[in-house]
Amino acid sequence: MNFPPFEHALEKHYYKIWQSRGHFEVDGDHSKPPFSIMMPPPNVTGRLHMGHALTLSLQDILVRFKRMDGYRVLYQPGLDHAGIATQNVVEKQLLAQGVKKEQIGREAFIQKVWEWKEACGGQILEQMQELGVSCAWSRLRFSMDAGLEKAVKVAFKAWFDQGLIVQDTYMINWCCKDGALADIEVEYQEELGKLYYLRYPLENGGEVVVATTRPETFFGDVALMVHPEDARYQHLIGQNALLPLTQRPIPIIADSYVDPSFGSGCVKVTPAHDPNDYSVGQRHNLTPLVIFDAQGVLNAHAEDFAGLDRLEARPKIVEALQEGGYIQEVQEHPHQVGVCYRCASPIEPYISKQWFVKQEVATGSIEKMAQGLAQFYPPHWRNNYNAWMQELRPWCISRQLWWGHRIPVFTCTHKHQFVPLETPTHCPTCGDTNLEQDPDVLDTWFSSGLWAFSTLGFGQEGFEGFEGVKFHADDLKDFYPNSVLVTGFDILFFWVARMLLSGESLLGKLPFKHIYLHALVRDENGEKMSKSKGNVIDPLELIKTYGSDSVRFALAMLCVQGRDLCLNPKVLEQAKHFSHKLYNAALFLSTQTATKVTEFQTSLGAYAKSRLNATTKEVRHALELYRFNDAATTIYRFFWGEFCDWVLEFSKAYKNSQEAPLVFGELASVFKEGLRLLHPFMPFVSEYLHQSLSKSALENSPSIMLSPYPKDTTQNAKLEARFNLMKESITALRRLKILLNAPIERATIESTTPLETEDLQCIAKLSKIPTILIASSKPPKAISDRGELGVVHVGLEGVNVGGLVHRLRGQLEKLKKEQAKLNLDNPQFLAKAPKALLESLQERNKTLLEKQAQVQKELSMLEG
């Protein structure tokens, strides 16, 4: 049996066979219970990263498990158009050629983006297949395909007609490069800025000092503001101050929003360029004064600085203020600065006319989540979700882009607005044929928010080329709500919350029964991966080095609920070695003469089956609770720690016996059933070994993925106790042989667990001690090794006990001296030593303590 565990040609070959046979597609047997899971559609902006690899691996584990377990599975694949990100990528490509998008126009630019999507999207799909993802490829959707475009229009119209989508002038987050952003699309960075103390002359003489971090916005000041109970300024309330440089009079008002301890206790009010000032302006009927345009360029209100970018203008404005004597002092000031999550440009609060979804759209989803109609895993994410939803504000859904779903609102010359589902010819209100469509596109998350049901045919009934091809008539009934959502916690508010409110609002049901949020994949040092740090790990490079199965299995083993994954190469090596261990076990079994198994007749075969059943019970329980690390670790422990290390070791005692064919037939049967348990985690290796042990080839045989997932969880407690005592006795006898360093001809075992004659013969063969007997008490002049289930006794006739004791005491003394050299009892050393050094020394100390405990135990046995 030749085993190429990490040969990509084999993985690709198997994948093509699975796919060509339709194993990934939805089973036509409607009697099977449905199971649906939606792939979070990767953005068509580049290659998959480790976060994608984790999400896809976990999803595929569940999908393969449920498919083998008799479910009618839909694993929905897709790609997202990623409005801002994709437009930025294509714009940069054009700029590198010296071309701006405005030069080629909207239609030509969109065509360029479609070309990029086709090239990049194809690469992403190939990368998914490298990972072994078993989704229904015939149903692949793109968030801007014609069917989903219709679904977006249906959803938009439903909310528009209900008054849940409105157009309004409001202060929003504005990126001067990318346009309007929703609140959660703003990221905040700590920045060491400056606090400027500006002198504002008073109209009636004197001056007042105002502190600001953004002096370039003072041209937009419409008032100064103090706290109504601040005794320092009460006499100024109602007076006018004069704007520096321009001498424009502005009133001094009082509002409890002011923090008297900040700066001078007097602040400027700039309603057009600060969200808090905007609220103040509304309370005091102040008219906002916009001082720069959508690109951040100062306008005529900035007088001599008009035409300059607001950031470029700052130092020049500060210089002019200093020359005019308007700056009292400048202090360093650390503060949070909002930046665009896509291009990292500074965000400006900006008053703009945009389209919004009202927060009332989420009322139903909030109520149903409170009723427990969908469960979060881990459960603490429910608190995060609830807290965010309680503070929900109107969702700005219009984006000043060309790439994306065009806002389907048309306006006639009489200002009537309407949302048609097909391209209109006239206004339904007045019949006007002069119509104009809104130039903006929808926020990417609007279409993504429909993903749980738009892919199932929502709004596309009878749509040619889609119904019966990309979805089927009963899909919404069969697969909505989805069974589970698996995604990263970092898009809980971007995507998950929006799918919850969209699904409930439009279909009356929450879109998921279970929501599993995994943590971030970090590097081996626990650092977040980023290009700037140079620690980004490409999952495809890992697959080339370790194989797809090893990457999947390592990610599953590391995926502890609620804890970030530190991608340590040691875990990948461990998974790789695990594949080799499985191969060696299969190779050993394939070289033995085996009889076909109809029932388990040997104690070893029955024991191996009992332990597999215990493993099956644990794995099933872990998968149902999305405890992927527990499931993977349990499988690893069974195959390596139990089957390979002990069951196959026990089998050597039968190797030349008449029972050998029966024993090895039973063990091969258990191993093959274990491979079915393993298959969702390591699909390629499990397929190869299953076919090899069956003396078949996938090319002309059924796949392991069509086999039923193991269900038998019955255990034989008495039989397991026998073998546990055997394992314990063999380990103890081997340990005593090493300790005594002398031939042992006879040993006895004392235990309440009964052993059969064949058990004693097996212990004798594996411990290489000719005679093993049962004892009821410790024989005279014997050394004993006590375990949890029994005690083994070995006579000391002819053994120099005194010499052994002297040697062991010497070892103990040496270990204690080595421990003292670590200097871990020195407070001064502990205070100064680097963290990495301390961790290394503490690990060494732990090892030394374990060795001391073992030597002390051996001394106790000899002296006892």
State yes or no: cis peptide before 439, omega within 30 of 0: no
CB 456 within 8 A of CB 507: no
C-alpha span between 701 and 699 (Å, rounded): 6
Cα dihedral angle (622, 627, 631, 632), rounded to 10 degrees?
A: 170
Q: Encoding tokens for residue 456?
A: 């199932």
Tokens 């597999």, residue located: 612
- Which helix (H) or strand (E) segment holds residue 165: the answer is strand 165-175
Q: Encoding tokens for residue 393?
A: 């504000």
C-alpha span between 280 and 285 (Å, rounded): 8
Tokens 């790990």, residue located: 537
C-alpha span between 39 and 593 (Å, rounded): 45
Look up residue 494 and give its DSSP letter. Answer: I
C-alpha span between 794 and 113 (Å, rounded): 79
Q: Which residue intervals of 21-100 are DSSP H helices? A: 50-68, 83-96
Q: Which residue intervals of 483-537 are DSSP H helices? A: 497-507
Q: Max Cα separation, the chain?
A: 114
Nearest by Cα to 402 from 105, 79, 89, 93 = 105
Q: Which residue intervals of 741-834 are DSSP H helices? A: 757-767, 801-820, 827-832
Q: Encoding tokens for residue 137?
A: 């490829």
DSSP code string of 277-333 = HHHHHHHTTPPP---B-TTSBB-GGGGGGTTSBHHHHHHHHHHHHHHTT-EEEEEEE
Look up residue 361 and give its DSSP letter. Answer: G
What pairing do the DSSP bridges indicate for beta strands 512-518 and 482-488?
Answer: parallel
Residues in the chain: 864
C-alpha span between 728 and 398 (Å, rounded): 69
CB 181 within 8 A of CB 173: yes
Instruction: State the helix-helix crossing angle for 569-590 and 539-546, rounded to 10 degrees.
Output: 40
Q: Encoding tokens for residue 151?
A: 């679904």
Nearest by Cα to 501 from 633, 413, 426, 394 = 394
Amino acid found at 273: H
Q: Encoding tokens for residue 629?
A: 């690390």
Look up residue 134 and give its DSSP letter. Answer: -
Nearest by Cα to 539 from 52, 8, 7 = 52
Q: Is 66 annotated as a binding residue?
A: no
Q: Encoding tokens for residue 554?
A: 């390592």
Q: In sequence order, what are the residues at sequence separation of 6 or more whose Cβ sits closer than 8 angstroms to the Cβ of residue 741?
A: none
Q: In sequence order, what are the residues at sequence separation of 6 or more whose Cβ sits closer than 8 angstroms to the Cβ of residue 829?
A: 823
C-alpha span between 286 and 305 (Å, rounded): 24
CB 840 within 8 A of CB 783: no
CB 48 within 8 A of CB 122: no
Side-chain half-sphere exposure of 695, counting CA atoms within 13 A: 9
Which sign does the torsion angle of CA 173, 174, 175, 181 carry? positive
Measuring CA to CA, how many Å separate 434 from each of 423, 437, 554, 740, 798? 13, 10, 61, 102, 112
**181: helix, strand or coil:** strand
The annotated binding site is made up of 531
The annotated binding site for ATP is made up of 531
